[in-house]
């Protein structure tokens, strides 16, 4: 006989039914995050919107630290959409080789740079609607660029934000776009970008995927998942 399936209550913590209750619960967690991660910021090193857009696209399926290890060389050779659009693929592949999936990522950067030139005269657009028309750019990447290059608040539902948001009862959605829509209802909009940075830092340092360090967590006394196996 197989193992019984975990019930929904085992997968997700209890949460207030009302939107106001969820906002209040989230506010206590946000205060604690602010106390513990006051200096959280984008981990991808960049000097402008184009560099951040490229770095964010490259960060898929690899770490920010590894992306940061190749982007200085990348941008020294190809500092703008025009030079990157005409870059030989074999040169891009050689630079991106440490990231893994380097052939696909080289093609992605070439397509992205060409898209910027063809649609936006080589200028990174400052709206989500325009950004997501570019090759390889989804809502997550667009929100990273909007929040960190243009100061436009955005919710970035990466693996950390999605995981912790479910553990805290902010959402029960596993689809990133649906989760983003739910989070937008309970998190204060002016802080969206900063909140995501703090959640990501907490996910990296404490609330790991397989073995969260619950006994060492500064949010243990207010975390609704603390006593869930």
CATH classification of the domain holding 119: 1.10.340.30
Q: Is 207 annotated as a binding residue?
A: yes
Among the candidates 150, 165, 193, a domain finishes at 150
Inside any domain, residue 226: no
Listed in sequence order, the residues at least 6 apart from 47 whose beta carbon sits closer than 8 Å to its beta carbon are 75
DSSP of 105-171, one letter per residue? HHHHHHHHHHHHHHHHTT---SSHHHHTTSTT--HHHHHHHHHHHS--------HHHHHHHHHTTS-
Q: What values do phi and psi take at 89, rounded to 5?
A: -60, -35
Q: Is 196 assigned a ligand-binding role in the annotation?
A: no
Domain limit, last residue, from 121, 150, 179: 150
Same domain, 176 and 85: no
- What's the pLDDT at 14? 87
Give how far the C-alpha of residue 127 lies from the chain's centroid of Cα atoms, to the nearest Å: 17
Question: Which whole number is the average pLDDT over 173-186?
Answer: 96
In a domain, 128, yes or no: yes
DSSP structural state of residue 52: H
- pLDDT classification of 105: cutoffs 50, 70, 90: very high
pLDDT for the residue 227: 75
Asked if residue 96 and residue 30 are part of one domain, the reply reads no
Q: Is 140 a catalytic residue?
A: yes
pLDDT of residue 2 exceeding 70 = no
The verdict on 127 and 184 lying in the same domain is no
The domain that holds 28 is classified in CATH as 1.10.1670.10
Range of the domain at 56: 49-150
Rounded average pLDDT over 133-146? 96
- Same-domain pairing of 135 and 182: no
Residue of 80, 158, 221, 227 marked catalytic: 158
Question: Predicted confidence band at 49 (pLDDT cuts at 50, 70, 90)?
Answer: very high
Residue 176: other Cβ atoms inside 10 A: 18
Based on the fold, state whether residues 108 and 83 are members of the same structural domain: yes
Q: At residue 109, what are phi and psi to the nearest 5 degrees?
A: -65, -40
Last residue of a domain, which of 150, 167, 185? 150
Please pick, among 5, 31, 80, 140, the residue that the annotation labels catalytic: 140
CA distance 46 to 86: 21
Q: Quote the longest CA-to-CA distance of the chain.
A: 63
The yes-or-no verdict on residue 118 having pLDDT over 80 is yes
Kindly state whether residues 28 and 59 are assigned to the same domain: no
Q: Does 135 share its domain with 183?
A: no
Average pLDDT over residues 10-30: 90
What pLDDT score does 99 carry? 95
121: left (phi over 0), alpha (psi -120 to 50) or beta: left
Known binder of ligand: residue 42?
no
What CA–CA distance (Å, rounded) separates 159 from 165? Answer: 10
Same domain, 140 and 190: no
Indicate whether 78 and 140 sit together in one domain: yes
Phi-psi region of 207 (alpha: psi -120 to 50; beta: other; left: phi over 0): beta
Same-domain status, 185 and 113: no
Q: Is 228 inside a domain boundary?
A: no
Query: Mean pLDDT across the stretch 103-119?
Result: 97
Q: Tell whether 126 and 160 lie within a shared domain.
A: no
Res 3 pLDDT > 50: no
Quick check: is 201 catalytic?
no
* Global confidence as pTM: 0.90
- pLDDT tier at 48 (50, 70, 90 boundaries)? very high
Domain count, the chain: 2
Cβ-Cβ contacts under 8 Å for 181 (sequence gap 6 or more):
none
d(CA 7, CA 75): 49
Q: Would 144 be classed as within a structural domain?
A: yes
**Do 133 and 169 belong to one domain?**
no
> Considering the domain boundaries, does residue 223 fall inside one?
no
Query: What is the mean predicted confidence (pLDDT) over 169-188?
Result: 96
């Amino acid at each position: 006989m197989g193992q019984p399936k975990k019930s929904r209550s085992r997968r997700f913590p209890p949460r207030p039914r009302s939107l106001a209750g969820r906002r209040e619960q989230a506010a206590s967690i946000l205060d604690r995050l602010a106390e513990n991660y006051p200096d959280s910021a984008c981990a991808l090193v960049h000097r402008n919107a184009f560099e951040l857009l490229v770095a964010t696209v490259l960060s898929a399926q690899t770490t920010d630290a590894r992306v940061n290890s190749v982007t200085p060389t990348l941008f020294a050779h190809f500092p703008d959409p025009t030079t990157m659009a005409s870059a030989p693929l074999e040169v891009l592949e050689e630079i991106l080789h440490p990231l893994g999936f380097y052939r696909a990522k080289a093609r992605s950067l070439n397509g992205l740079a060409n898209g910027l030139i063809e649609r936006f005269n080589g200028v990174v657009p400052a709206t989500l609607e325009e950004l997501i028309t570019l090759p390889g750019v989804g809502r997550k990447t667009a929100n990273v660029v909007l929040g960190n290059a243009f100061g436009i608040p955005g919710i970035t539902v990466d693996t950390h934000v999605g995981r912790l948001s479910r553990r805290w009862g902010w959402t029960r959605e596993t689809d990133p776009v649906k989760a983003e829509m739910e989070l937008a209802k309970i998190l204060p909009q002016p802080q969206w970008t900063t909140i995501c940075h703090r959640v990501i830092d907490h996910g990296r340092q404490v609330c790991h995927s397989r073995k969260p360090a619950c006994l060492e967590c500064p949010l243990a006394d207010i975390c609704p998942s603390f006593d869930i196996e």
